[in-house]
Amino acid sequence: MLEADCALEMGKNNNAVIALNVIDLKYLYSSSYVWRPVNPDTIKSVVKNHEEDAQRWLAIVRGKANDNKIKLRTEFIIDATSIVGVIVEYAERENIDLLVIGSRGLTGFKKLLVGSVASGVVAYAHCPVMVVK
């Protein structure tokens, strides 16, 4: 949530923030949630749970934005390619000035330094990236 607080603080100057949440279907297929042959109902259930978590997070961010009179647009994307690719392409398409991303990694040694998604976004984004720890 700290990254959302930083993004909202940065957004006070421009009075606009976009909160983006991306679910990577490729991760869901290979995660511990789906360790048996893929069942469409199981995938729907897992996606629904992730969507509900994302909506709860976005509702908190929306409340903070409203309290600070900052325009907030929320986006929720489900994709089967790569989270990094989705974020970078979204930022380019929407002409984003600054990306604020958390550093929580989910895999291996990179999580000790910076998350693999944050690392990829820093490497490929067209605009400045603020990584919040």
Q: What is the pLDDT of residues 10-55, one digit of tens each?
A: 888 777 899 888 887 766 555 555 455 566 777 788 788 888 988 8
pLDDT cut 70: percent of the chain above it? 80
Please report which confidence band the pLDDT of residue 64 belongs to, taking 50, 70 and 90 as the band edges.
very high
Can you tell me the distance from the alpha carbon of 86 to that of 40, in angstroms, rounded to the nearest whole number? 23
The amino acid occupying position 101 is: I
Can you tell me the distance from the alpha carbon of 9 to that of 131, in angstroms, rounded to the nearest whole number? 14
Among the residues of 34-113, which ranges form H helices? 40-67, 83-93, 110-113
Mean pLDDT of 102-115: 58
The answer on pLDDT for 91 being more than 90 is yes
Q: Which fold has domain 2-132?
A: Rossmann fold (3.40.50)
- The answer, as to whether pTM is greater than 0.85, is no
